Structure 1
Amino acid sequence: MAKVYVGLGTNLGDKEDNLRVAIQKIEERIGKVIFLSAFYATAPWGFHSENSFVNAAVGIETLLSPLEVLEGTQAIERAMGRMQKTVNKAYSDRLIDIDLLLYDNCILSVVSPSGAELVLPHPLMAERDFVLKPLAEIAPELVHPVLGKTVRELLAQLNA
């Protein structure tokens, strides 16, 4: 059984409900949700928007492979109404965003059969307060497999 951590974000519609629906669908399609952070109100990152975000982190136990988790999370995003992913770092408002942050201690860079790129650990997670705060709440001692620092240390470093 693999332990997987994902980050969730939304800045359109009923934000808290969007997160609750995504979490329910993760439990149905990906695996058992074993950790859930509080919901955090955050400012947009990487683009300007009038809409603030609500973010959370989830820990999951799954039998799925990393690519199967990616395909599952993208199917959840589509089912919830998200039709386009971020391309060339051109971020935009979104009903739901589910980012696969960590999959056990896996270090991976592959392209799925559907053409989606999967990089583990998530390449920007250590730069994003809105990812590290909720992740530090549920897994403060989790060690980033590339950087060799705990989530708590990464958050402290980011906020220094």
Structure 2
Amino acid sequence: MARVYMSLGTNLGDKEKNLRDAVHKIEEQIGKVISLSAFYMTAPWGFESDNSFLNAAACIETELLPLEVLQKTQEIERGLGRTHKSTGGVYSDRLIDIDLLMYDDLILSATSPSGAELNLPHPLMAERDFVMKPMAEIAPELVHPVLGKTMSLLLSLLIGDKLR
């Protein structure tokens, strides 16, 4: 069994319902949700919007391989009403966003048969407080396999950088 960490976000519609529906679908299609963070209200990151986000992190035990998890999360997003993915660093409002952050301590760069890219650990996770706050809540001692630092330390470094 692998432990997969995911970030979930939404800034449209009934945000709490969107997150709960996504968690339910993840448990049905990917594996057992063994940890779920609180829901955090955050400002949009990387684009302007009047709609704030609700974000969370989850840890899932799965027997699926990384690209299979990616395929399932994309199917879940589409099933919950997401019609397009952010590409090329251009972000927009969305009903649901599920990002794979880590898959055990695997370091991977791969492309799925559908053409979707998967980079593990997520290359921007340590730069995003909306990812790091919930991650530090559910897995404070988890070590980032590239940066060699715990989630709690990465969060404190991120917060410290924002104060400077």
When normalised by structure 2's length, the TM-score is 0.97
Which residue pairs with 1:122 in the alignment? 122
What are the within-5 Å matches in structure 2 for residues 24-103 of structure 1? 24-103=24-103
Query: Which residue in the other structure is 2:158 paired with?
Result: 158
C-alpha deviation, 1:113, in angstroms: 0.3
State the distance in 2 between where 1:87 and 1:19 align.
22
CA distance in 2, matches of 1:88, 1:70: 18
Large movers: runs of 4+ above 6 Å: none
Deviation per CA, 1:15-74, whole angstroms, max 9, x where unpaired? Answer: 000000000000000000000000000000000000000000000000000000000000
Q: Return the letter of the residue paired with 1:12.
A: L
Distance 1:92 1:123 in 2: 19
Match of 2:21 in 1: 21
Q: Deviations over 1:73-108 (max 9, x none)?
A: 000000001011111110000000000000000000
Q: Unmatched 5+ residue regions in structure 1?
A: none
Letter in 1 for 2:82: R
Superposed CA RMSD in Å reads 0.3
The percentage of counterpart residues that share the same residue type is 73
Instruction: Identify the residue that residue 7 of structure 2 maps to in structure 1.
Output: 7
Over residues 102-154 of structure 1, what are the superposed CA-to-partner deviations in whole Å (9 max), with x where a residue is unaligned? 00000000100000000000000000000000010000000000000000010
